[in-house]
Structure 1
Amino acid sequence: MSGSLWPKPPGEGDTLPAIPRPRREEVPKAPEPPDTEKAPETGKAPGTGKAPDAPPAPAPLDALAERLDGFVAAAVHPDEVAALLESDGMTDDHIRLTYGRADSFALAEDLYARVERRHPAPAPPPAGPWHGGLANCLLRGLVFALPGLAYVLAAPLLAGEQGRFGLPGGTVPLLAGAVTGWVWNQALSHRAYTWLGLGDRPAAARALLTGAPPGALAGTGVALAVAAPGEAPAAVFAAGQSLYLAAATALLVLGRERALLGALVPLAGAVPAFRWDLPDPLRIGLLLASLTATAVLAARVLRPGLRRTAAGRGGPPRTASLPYGLFGLGSGLLVLHAGTGTTPVSGAGAVVALTLSMGPAEWLLHRFRDGALARLRTLTTAREFRRAATGTLVLCLGGYLAVLTALLLAVTQVWPGAPRPTPPDLLALLLVGTALWLGLLLQAFGAVLGAATVCLLAAVALPAAGPAATGGAAAVLAVLTCVLLVRPTAHRV
């Protein structure tokens, strides 16, 4: 979630109006005596031998006022008109000879008095990249959560011997591959978004084309390295998971959420699997159909990156994307810990609620930034802005936590046989959600290193400290947010 603000290219009306120059008057020649013997010329009044009277030419001052009408009408003081006259090189001598005024200030006052004031209403500010639509953000949240149905389809295929660390069999390679993909693709997304912010879409496609395959190989290699005997099916599934994460990253960064949603349609076959046992070939076919569709769509979208001109010049340093990868690692670990509730079902419901909430979370981030920019245009003191920004921050965070709670309750309602979440589970989920949303907000403003550090420390301390770790992380991130983002300078672009 990033964006860039760029100055609007100059359009019509940005240049100063041209000031007319009177033509040099020639000395009139002496009239020739009429020749009565010549035939009358065309265009003369019949019977008189004289040309018809032409409309009188406007006086130089009237012509100048007519030409500068738009500029003078919008001026708030005659000195603005005088500055225009002087910028065009109009000297006092020229003004006295041509317009009969003493200097540019006298001429400006005369023009200002002749032209009626017409101040056009200011155009509304254009919608920036932080003015995001709710429907698009909800769509992104949906495509974040739908891949979870793949685990429902693959669960019987991955069942095996007892796993390690008290987890079901095959869980360790799956988690290792997923975390590796989150870290790599978060950093890759930042680099591609930076190219998009520079206005170079082919270079962004090139970055994704060169970075996505190594990310898929890295996730696959890590999953194979940590797989124990008997966890080969889980390692194969982790390889497909890594390929999906790489392809989905390319589609999401380049704004192809609807195409990705279409590729995930085969996973809807997991819905009957909640109640009935599906044949293994059908499960495998649905998984391969969705994975193949996602990979093919990503390959089509990344074709512009194959051009020679897509390499880009002077791009962002690769080290600038490292903090974003670390934030992906910290936030991913927090989400995984949220899945370890008092019961397996409540833990899975927390993960589903968190992934579904990422769409509303993104929209509320946009609302905060857009509201802060609006306050900059209307408030006049830093104290008023701090108060307004703090109120907006509290409303957006409270709205996100309310959405997260509603999603958790809705998931437990539709999940077959799911118990209601206990108060400790709900509190733990809200603390994780607070830390994630504030971390995403700091990341959107470029303060990603602090957010990544806090989330990583909380993830490391969470197994021993429990909710106290996420509560401390939420408190620290709240302080950082209030210190950094309630200042007007943080929002100026």
Structure 2
Amino acid sequence: MSGSLWLKEESAGLDALPAVPRPRPSWAAPDPVDELTGRLEEVIAAAVHPDEIAAVLESDGLTDDHIRLTYGRDSSFELAEDLYARVERTFPEPDGPPTGLWHTGLGDCLLRGLVFALPGLAYVLGAPLLAGPTGPPGLPPGTVPLLAGAVTGWVWNQALSHRAYSWLGLGDRRAAALSLLRGAPAGALLGALVAFAAAAGPGEWGGALFAAGQAVYLAAATVLLVLHRERALLCALAPLVAGTPAAALLGLPGAARVVLLGTSLALAVALAGRALLPATAPPAPGDGASGAGGPRFAASLPYGLFGLGTGGLVLYAAIGEVLAGGAGAAAAGPTAVALTLSMGPAEWLLYRFRAESLAGLRASTSPGAFRRASAGALALCLSVYLAVLLALAVTGTLLWPGAPDLGGTRLVALLLIGTVLWSALLLQAFGAALAAGLVCGAAAGAQTVALATGTGDPATAGAVVAGTAAVVLTALGAVLLGRATAHRV
């Protein structure tokens, strides 16, 4: 009895005392968690949340079963929390100026914005070729086939660009060129067929022919832009740029306008074909898979949906301007020109946000601090983009003959559409193309219904739709980009 009582008191005393850490015997096997800590010490020290370490473990192929057998932890997240607690936080600054994927020059982005916007001059140069009766609901002649062909081209070429970029990311430039060689002509043919199918009457055949040329140009421009031949595309647009002032001041005849438009189109096609010539040669030994194990076709579909939504919003901005009494029935209008020109600064600001978020990731010592740093970078870049867009729109309105005043609902709608476009591009850049495409596609669909049914003022309807989409996209961006794991390269 006394012996059992002594054992009970002794065990109670042991339970009450704190555990004393004892050194690992020299004959014991090394702790595998210690070995893993030493191997990943730099990664663990730079992490601001255990989930980052868990992502590294999973990317190294460590399954939960392997972790349970080797490290005695139930999952990668539990092991990551243990590793996170073992290593002190350090955030070393990189040596030298920042370089790499997420740093690019402003000049290249501005050049891309310029080649995005200059094709709009074709609508000014070809305006007399689109003469005819006004179509429903009060739209300029040829608008329906032009819109149908343009939207088809944007959807197809966005998806095609993603597939080609995916091949480039895999290091197979020949496969990327082959995908463009096969996909660009198919897209041009599809866009032309859709444009002719959308021509409802004799007065719209001119618009259908114009839209067919537009489809061919979009295909050629996609090839040149994906292969980083922006300067070649700018050279192809030179006859168009030179001929537009002459047409506006001297009133060129229709034949001269057709020659200028055809020359730019022929140059774009020729330069695109020249860029794709290497893809027609037999592959050299070790020249990449060129199709084996490549990206899935389904992975490019969200980008096509993204092109449909964003392209539709820009088109409806131009349509709203025409219906509001803007000049130039077939012209894009200062609002659409400002939106397309702003895509150059928008692209540079995407790089800028990425660089700022990575700097915040290095400087933050907690998940909350990083969320604040990411939100601040997001607000700054979006504000700069909207300021650039506003400046472009004001300048265009002042220079565009007979353009409606930029104020009230038009100004609000423009800034909201700009917010939608930049936020959607940001989400796409971080891999959330499906979410961005769904939101933009729904917004474009709502605009289509409002325009077709004549529901309210087009500018007001556009502002409401764009405002709703802007709120949804900014909320998605805040949730996604506030996580540190979304920013690891």
Per the shorter chain, which TM-score range? 0.7 to 0.9
Structure 1 contact 177–219 (Cα < 8 Å) conserved: yes
1:378 to 363, 373, 376: 363
Q: Work out the CA distance in 2 between the residues paired with 1:479 and 1:416.
A: 39
The secondary structure found in structure 2 opposite 1:213 is: helix
1:197 to 156, 164, 169: 169
- Asked if 1:257 corresponds to 2:242, the answer is no
What residue is the counterpart of 2:474 in the other structure?
A: 478
Structure 1: gaps of 5 or more residues: 1-120
What residue is the counterpart of 2:25 in the other structure?
A: none
Structure 1 contact 173–223 (Cα < 8 Å) conserved: yes
Structure whose alpha-carbon radius of gyration is higher: 1
Q: 1:122 to 1:131 in 2, by over 3 A?
A: closer
The secondary structure found in structure 2 opposite 1:316 is: coil
- Asked if 1:352 corresponds to 2:334, the answer is no
- Asked if 1:209 corresponds to 2:181, the answer is yes
Task: Write out per-residue CA displacement over residues 279-321 of structure 1, whole angstroms, 9 at most, x where no aligned residue.
Answer: 1121111101100000000000011221343733211000100
Cα deviation for residue 136 of structure 1 reads 0.4
Q: Work out the CA distance in 1 between the residues paired with 2:246 and 2:394.
A: 21
- TM-score normalised per structure 1: 0.73
Alignment of 1:219-368 (within 5 A): 219-230=191-202, 231-268=204-241, 269-309=243-283, 311-339=290-318, 340-341=320-321, 342-345=324-327, 348-368=333-353
What residue is the counterpart of 1:71 in the other structure?
A: none
What code does the residue aligned with 1:181 have? G
Q: Work out the CA distance in 2 between the residues paired with 1:188 and 1:435.
A: 23
- Asked if 1:432 corresponds to 2:417, the answer is yes
Alignment of 1:31-180 (within 5 A): 123-124=95-96, 127-180=99-152
Cα deviation for residue 415 of structure 1 reads 1.5
What code does the residue aligned with 2:117 have? A
- Count residues in correspondence: 374
1:398 to 367, 374, 383: 383
Q: Percent identity?
A: 61
Task: Write out per-residue CA displacement over residues 13-45 of structure 1, whole angstroms, 9 at most, x where no aligned residue.
Answer: xxxxxxxxxxxxxxxxxxxxxxxxxxxxxxxxx
Task: Write out per-residue CA displacement over residues 410-469 of structure 1, whole angstroms, 9 at most, x where no aligned residue.
Answer: 111221233431221010011111011100000000101111111111112232443111
Alignment of 1:405-424 (within 5 A): 405-424=390-409
Q: Work out the CA distance in 1 between the residues paired with 2:400 and 2:465.
A: 29
Structure 1 contact 206–304 (Cα < 8 Å) conserved: no
Q: Work out the CA distance in 1 between the residues paired with 2:298 and 2:474.
A: 27
What residue is the counterpart of 2:66 in the other structure?
A: none
Cα deviation for residue 157 of structure 1 reads 0.9
Q: Work out the CA distance in 1 between the residues paired with 2:188 and 2:199.
A: 17
Structure 1 contact 409–420 (Cα < 8 Å) conserved: no
* Structure with the bigger percentage of helix: 2
Q: Is 169-178 or 452-461 further displaced after alignment?
A: 452-461
What code does the residue aligned with 2:134 have? Q
Q: Work out the CA distance in 1 between the residues paired with 2:400 and 2:421.
A: 25
What code does the residue aligned with 2:291 have? G
Q: Work out the CA distance in 2 between the residues paired with 1:447 and 1:381.
A: 25
What residue is the counterpart of 1:94 in the other structure?
A: none
The secondary structure found in structure 2 opposite 1:361 is: helix
What code does the residue aligned with 1:450 have? A
Cα deviation for residue 334 of structure 1 reads 0.7
The secondary structure found in structure 2 opposite 1:130 is: coil
The secondary structure found in structure 2 opposite 1:255 is: coil
Structure 1 contact 390–486 (Cα < 8 Å) conserved: yes
Q: 1:122 to 1:146 in 2, by over 3 A?
A: closer
Q: 1:175 to 1:414 in 2, by over 3 A?
A: same
- TM-score normalised per structure 2: 0.74
1:461 to 446, 458, 481: 446
The secondary structure found in structure 1 opposite 2:250 is: coil
Cα deviation for residue 185 of structure 1 reads 0.1
Structure 1 contact 200–312 (Cα < 8 Å) conserved: no
Structure 1 contact 185–325 (Cα < 8 Å) conserved: yes
Cα deviation for residue 201 of structure 1 reads 1.2
The secondary structure found in structure 2 opposite 1:164 is: coil
Task: Write out per-residue CA displacement over residues 247-293 of structure 1, whole angstroms, 9 at most, x where no aligned residue.
Answer: 00000011000110011011121123334311112111110110000
Structure 2 contact 191–215 (Cα < 8 Å) conserved: yes
What residue is the counterpart of 1:59 in the other structure?
A: none
Structure 2 contact 353–378 (Cα < 8 Å) conserved: yes
Structure 2: gaps of 5 or more residues: 1-92, 456-460
Structure 1 contact 140–359 (Cα < 8 Å) conserved: yes
Q: Work out the CA distance in 1 between the residues paired with 2:403 and 2:326.
A: 9
The secondary structure found in structure 2 opposite 1:416 is: coil
Cα deviation for residue 162 of structure 1 reads 2.5
What code does the residue aligned with 2:307 have? G
Q: Work out the CA distance in 1 between the residues paired with 2:325 and 2:201.
A: 27
The secondary structure found in structure 1 opposite 2:126 is: helix
Q: Is 331-340 or 156-165 further displaced after alignment?
A: 156-165
What residue is the counterpart of 2:56 in the other structure?
A: none
Q: 1:125 to 1:317 in 2, by over 3 A?
A: farther
Aligned Cα root-mean-square deviation (Å): 1.8
What code does the residue aligned with 1:158 have? L
